[in-house]
């Protein structure tokens, strides 16, 4: 398995030779390196830990972990990556132009939202005396029996901030430590993303 960490930069568009315009996302992979190795003998499983970038406000437990691992402030575990040791740099040229990759990241947090924005509800009618219930969720439960609201009911609440994986994204170009990937990827500018081979 091939994998690397990156920082989402910008979205733009490029023109292909046939004249078609395609949307692309730029991912900065500079400074990604192997900061630790987990071994089944000591940790109970095999994994490679990669690190990149600096976290602005690390917690105290994170500071202790990073001090122990000698890592920067962003670190993620991968399945075992062969032929690498602690301290090795991971370069973007492990991938090739045209290769398909899976990219995961944390989506933008949207805070506390209503059912229309969070779940795509249509809301109530716009006519027939409607005044202030246009974007409300409506009835949420039954009457006397069973007299409760079912678990998992789609209601207002915090939305966004979820782990999202986008699969089968094509690598269009590789410039130094910048991966140019076709399409959109999860997260905001400056967010951490994990890029893995298919």
Indicate whether 137 belongs to any domain: no
Instruction: Give the model confidence (pLDDT) of 4-28 as tens digits.
Output: 999 999 999 999 888 899 999 999 9
pTM for the predicted model, two decimal places: 0.82
Indicate whether 139 belongs to any domain: no
Of 1, 6, 19, the residue nearest 103 (C-alpha): 6
Which segments of the chain are extended strands (E)?
3-15, 21-28, 33-38, 47-52, 74-78, 100-106, 111-113, 157-159, 163-175, 178-182, 192-197
The CATH number linked to 14 is 2.40.30.10
Residue 171 sits at the vertex; the CA angle it makes with 18 and 12, to the nearest 5 degrees, is 70
What is the mean pLDDT of the segment spanning 120-138? Answer: 86
For 168-187, give one letter per residue: b (16+ CB within 10 A) or e: ebebbebeebebbbbeebbb
Indicate whether 56 belongs to any domain: yes
Q: Report the number of distinct structural domains present in the chain.
A: 1
Indicate whether 140 belongs to any domain: no
Indicate whether 179 belongs to any domain: yes
Instruction: Give the model confidence (pLDDT) of 50-100 as tens digits.
Output: 888 777 788 888 888 777 776 766 778 777 777 788 878 888 888 999 999
Indicate whether 62 belongs to any domain: yes
Number of H helices, E strands in the chain: 3, 11
Indicate whether 143 belongs to any domain: no
Tokens linked to 22: 């395609």
What is the pLDDT at residue 33?
A: 87
What is the pLDDT at residue 82?
A: 73
Domain carrying residue 74:
3-128+153-197
């Amino acid at each position: 398995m091939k994998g690397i960490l990156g920082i989402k930069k910008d979205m733009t568009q490029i023109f292909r030779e046939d004249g078609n315009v395609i949307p692309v996302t730029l991912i900065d992979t500079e400074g990604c390196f192997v900061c630790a190795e987990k071994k089944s003998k000591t940790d109970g499983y095999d994994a490679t830990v990669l690190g990149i970038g600096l976290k602005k406000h690390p917690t105290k437990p994170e500071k202790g972990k990073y001090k122990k691992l000698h890592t920067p402030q962003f670190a993620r575990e991968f399945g075992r990556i062969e032929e690498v040791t602690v301290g090795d740099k991971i370069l973007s040229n492990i991938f090739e132009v045209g290769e398909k990759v899976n990219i995961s990241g944390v989506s933008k947090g949207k805070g506390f939202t209503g059912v229309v924005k969070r779940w795509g509800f249509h809301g109530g009618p716009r006519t027939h005396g409607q005044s202030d219930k246009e974007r409300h969720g409506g009835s949420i439960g039954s009457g006397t029996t069973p007299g409760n609201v079912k678990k998992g009911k789609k209601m207002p609440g915090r939305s966004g901030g979820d782990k999202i994986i986008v699969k089968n994204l094509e690598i269009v170009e590789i410039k130094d430590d910048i991966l140019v990937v076709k399409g959109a990827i999860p997260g905001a500018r400056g967010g951490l993303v994990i890029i893995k081979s298919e």
